[in-house]
Chain A
């Protein structure tokens, strides 16, 4: 398995609170991605990064921000969590943008 660690693995929080999810990789891959997985929607890209301090939006970026200050870490922040952001969040990495992506174990986030 690729060296990808997501933390926390599970989190329950309340509407309106800030939440930060962390993705840490030991593969030195350039590209990192955040997806959310919801029934009936498959996986949808939230944000991705193509290098340190280089990020761009995916298809469902509203309400989310990201930061990448080091190659190995990619943070996803929900500034003010809403119940619609209850989901399973997956981080992925790839060497190049057209190469296969390798996924972390996911973070199960519940917003009450």
Chain B
């Protein structure tokens, strides 16, 4: 079974401070990890995926297989980063569906 855990439901930081949204997963095979973002009452958007190893809107995430984590980081948070963030996992085997964590609501205060 595959599972994604986001331990923080709410996270609040000040503008300009570093931010880290935690994501841990359990999966017996080789996972593919994603971060999705949902701004207030909008559709979910793919923020980044681990195989791309790219930085989007200043966010990065590194897959740590030893710790089974895929934490999302940004060195200097902006007010427009306030949103709900979902970590998601997909297995590479056929029939493996995308599994979402419960989400972390990030608030960046001025």
Tell me, yes or no, whether B86 is within 8 Å of chain A by CB: yes
Given contacts A90-B44, A103-B44, A105-B42, contact A97 B94 (CB under 8 A): yes
CA A80 to CA B106, docked complex, whole Å = 36
Interface magnitude class on chain A:
20 to 34
Tell me, yes or no, whether B98 is within 8 Å of chain A by CB: yes
* A102 & B32 in contact (Cβ 8 Å cutoff): no
How many whole Å from B74's CB to the nearest CB in chain A? 20
Given contacts A42-B86, A42-B102, A42-B103, contact A100 B46 (CB under 8 A): yes
Contacts of A48 in B (CB 8 A): 97
A90 nearest in chain B by CB position: B44
A-B contacts, 10 of them at CB < 8 A, read A35-B100, A42-B100, A42-B103, A44-B100, A45-B97, A98-B96, A100-B34, A100-B49, A103-B36, A103-B43
